Structure 1
Amino acid sequence: MITIRRLNSSTDRKKLKKILSKNNFDDKKEENEVIYLIEENNEVLGVSKLTIWDNIGILKYLIIDKNIRGNNLGDGLLRATLNYCYLNGINKVYYLESDNYLLKKGFEKIDIIDAEDNIKRLINKKTALVCDVPVFFENTCNNGRG
């Protein structure tokens, strides 16, 4: 059975490092981080990380193991991550890079000049992606886009 849950122990931290390494990704622990794991039979299939700043979420990564992509696991992991935001009154989630997958799922590209002031001071790029969390959940599964 596939489960999605928050990271919550040193054993989980080891699992996190393993999947990040396997997928050529590096990360460090941050304050205000929220990490979700998607697992099957105690094997981590994917991971997402969100940091919270001034009631705004910043999606750091959403990774599904490269060997099992295409099975819609990323959608479930993204929804779990954004559901955390929804339940905690975080209405905007930013991703500070460009990403076609997130655009397909409902994130929108914005000019940083149009971003909230507390986001502007965190980044030095001209564009980012943003998700309006309540609107995301008003739409159908997969944001109605396959």
Structure 2
Amino acid sequence: MCEEAAPGEVLGGHGTPAPPLEELLKKPLPPPRIHIRPWWFPVEELRNPLVFYLETWVADAIFGPDRAQIPQMEWQGQVLLTVDLTSSGDFVEIAIFGRPRMQNRMRKVLVSLMLWHRQHQNRAEKMQQLEDSLKGPLLDPDA
């Protein structure tokens, strides 16, 4: 059922084998993502961003670890987002550019997603504690 893969080999036989680390290190880095202002976004709205901070793990859950969800959220919210890691690394700085009404709407969406992810995380931690407390006495045959 579970296959063991040799280094550099793809599981299941589909695709090409992964290149060794030495080859990856020799390749040039991909060009940085250039953020171009969309045609629908007015230039005047770049002056006053709404800035707030989120924990890094929450931002990864909302935007994805590689921030792949940002363009879709920008398009749907008609705002521009920048998500930058702070110097401490525990928080990210989110700047929302756009009309004030759209900025507030996007902030509310992001705060709502943050609360949902925190509740989900807390629920998962409580379930893990419950499982651990239930397993403890059952494993001890002398109890």
**Same fold per TM (> 0.5)?**
no
TM-score for both structures, normalised by structure 1 = 0.28
Whose strand fraction is larger, Structure 1's or Structure 2's? 1
- Structure with max Cα Rg: 2
Whose helix fraction is larger, Structure 1's or Structure 2's? 2
